[in-house]
Structure 1
Amino acid sequence: MSKPDAGGQMPELSFPRFGGGEITVGGARERHTLLIVYRGKHCGRCKKYLGAFEGLQADWQSAGFDIAVVSADPLEKVEADVAEFGWTFPLGFDLSETQMRALGLYVSDPLSPDETDRRFAEPGVFCVRPDGVIQVVCISNGPAARPDLVELLDGMKFNIAHNRPARGTA
């Protein structure tokens, strides 16, 4: 499985958006992009992580970031989560396995039908510059390892203010 290169181009991908329309990442943009990939409705750790992010999204937006959050869940599961948790960030759904692989994400099979009914992506967080270059890539093979979004935002503000290149490219 190939991983996206820090300092490389984010693949251009589109996902259906909860509430209508599409979310597109990759390619040239006016602002930076924060892409969070979560496991889905079945994941309690995702709910905790996204609940914390809900309170941080305005900070990310004021720092110059467009936001995209996506999972492989179908619309019905996303609707149920939004109704339960009141998420207001741009939320995509139906992330395909091809898209998961294009992002270099780990893909898991459900442990049982009680967990979920489809393959899903393990967590990933990407910070992408307006020129489409991946500044930071954080990919996990399980739900317990994710970047601290407060610390990441602080680091991204520094990177932007000092025009830092992507690191880890050697």
Structure 2
Amino acid sequence: MTAPQPGERAPDFALPSTGGLVRLSEALARGPVVLTFYQEDGTPACRSQLAAFRDDYDVVRELGASVLAVSVDPLAAHQAFAEQLRPPFPLLADEGGAVARAYGVYDPEQRRARRAVFVIDRDGTVRLSIPWYNPASADQYEQVFRSLGVAPEG
């Protein structure tokens, strides 16, 4: 399966998370969603990826959006990672990778999701698709905020 592109419908899903069961359609009812896939709890690059969204979460909320972070790690690993990272958004457990597959970002050799970011409008339409996200890329990070309507400071 290929990653959904701008203008296409985002696959709906429901996953357990550090904040309880999360259904994409319910999150979208409250506003746009930044859906970020990360490879593994606790790794330096994934920590950096999620810390950036944590640090700019006030901007995300001011724009009426929210963040959902997904990896194939089990919920227990997410809970331990969340205690260290303290993100203001849930970490979703996609054990088995069904959601990562639906978004075209599952790596079968590594048996985990690739780093990716999708911005999804309230109506479920993909606004931005970055299926190969690099947390060190300021340009890609700024694309996320531009798609929401503003570039972050700093």
Cα distance, 1:92 vs. partner?
Answer: 1.0
Q: Aligned to 1:156, which of 144, 148, 153? A: 148
RMSD: 2.5
2:32 pairs with 1:24:
no
Equivalent pair of 1:138/1:146 in contact (CA under 8 Å): no
Aligned length: 149
Distance 1:42 1:83, change over 3 A: closer
The TM-score normalised by the length of structure 2 is 0.82
What does the per-residue CA deviation read over 1:88-131, in whole Å, with 9 as the maximum and x for residues that have no partner?
21221134322211101141434xxxxxxxx1101110111111
Taking only the aligned residue pairs, the percentage that are identical comes to: 24
Return the offset for 1:34.
0.9
Q: Which residue pairs with 1:7 in the alignment? A: 7
Q: 1:108 to 1:58 in 2, by over 3 A?
A: farther
Structure 2: 5+ residue runs without aligned partners? none
For 1:55, the equivalent position in structure 2 comes to: 55
Give the TM-score normalised by structure 1: 0.75
Cα deviation, residue 33, structure 1: 1.0
Cα separation, 2, equivalents of 1:92 and 1:146 = 25
**Structure 1 residue 17: deviation in Å?**
1.5
In structure 1, what residue type is equivalent to 2:107? V
Query: Unpaired segments of 5 or more residues in structure 1?
Result: 111-118, 159-170
2:128 aligned partner = 136
Question: Which is richer in helix?
Answer: 2
The alignment partner of 1:31 has SS state of: coil
Paired AA for residue 137 in structure 1: S
2:77 maps to: 77
Name the larger-Rg structure: 1
Paired letter, 1:17:
S
